[in-house]
């Protein structure tokens, strides 16, 4: 372990909820809960105001509603979160070539590798400047931990929350760790924590006192040795700049089980297109197409097909996903569908896939004709109605007369919109018919106006 606190851990504060509060003036200082809003939804993130009521991430949304019935409940806007994350990661890369993202809102940085810190004081100044830059660029806050190892830097950022900075001086680590719960250490979850508690070990200091042999006896060699080392503040893991993406996937959970086979096929095609969008956004292609189906009884099936070479062709992915679906029985109903691509590469082989599609079409022409005939008859007997416009709570909209706003709620053929922008005062609320031709889905506005490179500009709005 190094002798200076030059490993930085950044954790954005209540990231999704904070981004929503920054975008919506009327929600600042209020309880905001972001996640799936259906009966099977869970909390992705909640604001600190919501945590006062006992709400936390991964909690079933139904329980969150009981604890905080007056909170604002919003559907995630991952496009916005990714854009803000890219701004933050760019600031981190300015500090060092060694940046290890853990998620959209969390990363390690090796400041020594970037020659931006070499001792405690330079590390602290770098952390202070980073927090100011993040606020200036995104309007959000992040908590920073600085230490001589990744484990300690992460512990420090947890202590710094919200909107703070904590530096752990080398030589003070064991004293700091000793009174902390065993659950503080990486890899100690509820099961391991309970196992240690039954052995009379509840703090990190007691792990160190128990000794390596006792921990190996309790937890096995690999886990016991690693846990003992961490209790002594030994962590030599380096900051790894690139983490290889293993796969790209998307999935949807449905509030009501889908029984109609035609609807299931349509959903799979839609998911395939979304998956390809993410694939292309990452400048990747892939060889293996994966279909995931969770049925009415919670049984989960996966099917995969490996192609002759990597592709990012939406038609190829759609066709492969459709073939995989044919091998799955969905008659009892479907509650979740997912499409993924693995075996990733940074190039494509479109010529091979054109040949593959031709060959597959020739080999199964009779079978496909039979399937298409059945689908045509089904469509004639039971026409699929045009998709109803869906307005997701929290998502951006634009009205031809009133400008930019966000969906506050919808149902019974109506949609309620609050017209405000990140830089405005809290706006007024208006209700429209859900099929109002003057109302349309809009792209999120920048959280901080006037940043160089921002696309578009906020519309005038935010009355009242």
- The reported pLDDT for the residue numbered 420 is 96
Average pLDDT by stretches of 10, the chain with 464 residues: 87 95 96 87 92 92 94 92 93 94 90 93 96 96 95 94 94 92 85 88 92 89 88 90 76 85 92 90 86 86 86 90 91 90 72 42 38 35 53 94 94 94 94 94 88 42 38
Distance CA 387, CA 14 (A): 34
The 8-class DSSP code of residue 26 comes to G
What 3 state SS string does 48-114 have? HHHHCCCCCCCCEHHHHHHHCCCCEEECCCHHHHHHHHHHHHHHHHHHCCCEEEEECCEEEEECCCC
- The reported pLDDT for the residue numbered 357 is 46
- The reported pLDDT for the residue numbered 86 is 93
Residue listed under structure tokens 């854009």? 83
Which of 410, 414, 444, 408 has its CA nearest to residue 426? 408
- The reported pLDDT for the residue numbered 442 is 93
φ/ψ of residue 231, rounded to 5: -65, -25
Are 395 and 406 in contact by the 8 Å Cβ rule? The answer is: yes
φ/ψ of residue 229, rounded to 5: -65, -45
In the residue annotation, 106 being an active-site residue is answered as yes
Residue listed under structure tokens 């606020």? 135
* SS3 category, 301: strand
- The reported pLDDT for the residue numbered 450 is 62
b/e per residue, 282-316, with b = 16+ CB within 10 A?
eebbbbbbbbbbbbeeeeeeebeeebebbbbbbeb
Distance CA 27, CA 23 (A): 9
φ/ψ of residue 252, rounded to 5: -130, 140
- The reported pLDDT for the residue numbered 241 is 84
Distance CA 57, CA 285 (A): 33
Are 32 and 44 in contact by the 8 Å Cβ rule? The answer is: no
In the set 20, 49, 100, 106, the catalytic residue is 106
- The reported pLDDT for the residue numbered 191 is 80
The answer to whether the Cα torsion of 47, 29, 453, 165 is positive or negative is: negative
Cα–Cα separations (whole angstroms), residue 432 to 413, 421, 464: 9, 19, 19
């Amino acid at each position: 372990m190094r002798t200076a606190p030059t490993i930085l851990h950044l954790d954005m504060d209540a990231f999704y909820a904070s981004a929503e509060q920054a975008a919506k003036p009327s929600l600042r200082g209020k309880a905001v809960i972001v996640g799936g809003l259906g009966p099977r939804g869970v909390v992705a993130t909640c604001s600190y105001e919501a945590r006062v009521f006992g709400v936390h991430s991964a909690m079933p949304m139904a329980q969150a509603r009981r604890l905080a019935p007056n909170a604002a409940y919003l559907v995630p806007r991952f496009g916005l979160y990714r854009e803000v994350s890219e701004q933050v990661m760019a600031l981190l890369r300015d500090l060092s070539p060694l940046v290890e993202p853990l998620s959209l809102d969390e990363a390690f940085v090796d400041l020594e590798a970037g020659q931006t810190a070499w001792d405690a004081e330079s590390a602290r100044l770098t952390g202070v400047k980073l927090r100011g830059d993040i606020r200036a660029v995104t309007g959000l806050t992040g908590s920073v931990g600085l230490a001589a190892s990744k484990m300690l830097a992460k512990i420090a950022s947890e202590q710094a929350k919200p909107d703070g900075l904590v530096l752990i001086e080398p030589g003070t680590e064991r004293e700091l760790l000793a009174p902390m719960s065993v659950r503080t250490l990486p890899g100690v979850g509820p099961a391991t924590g309970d196992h240690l508690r039954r052995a009379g070990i509840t703090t990190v200091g007691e792990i160190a006192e128990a000794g390596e042999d006792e921990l190996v006896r309790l937890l096995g060699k690999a886990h016991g040795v690693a846990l003992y080392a961490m209790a002594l503040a030994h962590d030599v893991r380096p900051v790894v700049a690139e983490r290889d993406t293993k796969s790209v996937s998307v999935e949807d959970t449905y509030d009501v089980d889908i029984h109609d086979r035609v609807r299931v096929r349509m959903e799979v095609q839609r998911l395939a297109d979304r998956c390809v969008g993410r694939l292309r956004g990452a400048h990747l292609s892939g060889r293996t197409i994966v279909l995931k189906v969770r049925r009415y009884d919670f049984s989960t099936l996966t099917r995969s097909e490996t192609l002759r070479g990597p592709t990012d062709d939406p038609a190829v992915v759609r066709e492969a996903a459709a073939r995989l679906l044919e091998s799955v029985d969905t008659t009892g109903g479907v509650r979740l569908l997912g499409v993924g691509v693995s075996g990733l590469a940074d190039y494509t082989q479109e010529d091979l896939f054109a040949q593959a599609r031709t060959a597959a079409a020739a080999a199964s022409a009779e079978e496909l004709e039979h399937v298409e005939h059945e689908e045509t008859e089904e469509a004639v007997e039971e026409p699929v109605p045009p998709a109803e416009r869906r307005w997701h709570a929290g998502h951006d909209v634009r009205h031809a007369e009133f400008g930019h706003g966000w969906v506050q709620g919808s149902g019974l053929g109506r949609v309620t919109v609050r017209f405000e922008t990140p830089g405005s005062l809290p706006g007024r609320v208006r209700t429209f018919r859900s099929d109002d031709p003057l109302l349309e889905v809009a792209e999120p506005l920048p959280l901080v106006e006037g940043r160089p490179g921002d696309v578009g500009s906020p519309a005038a709005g935010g009355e009242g």
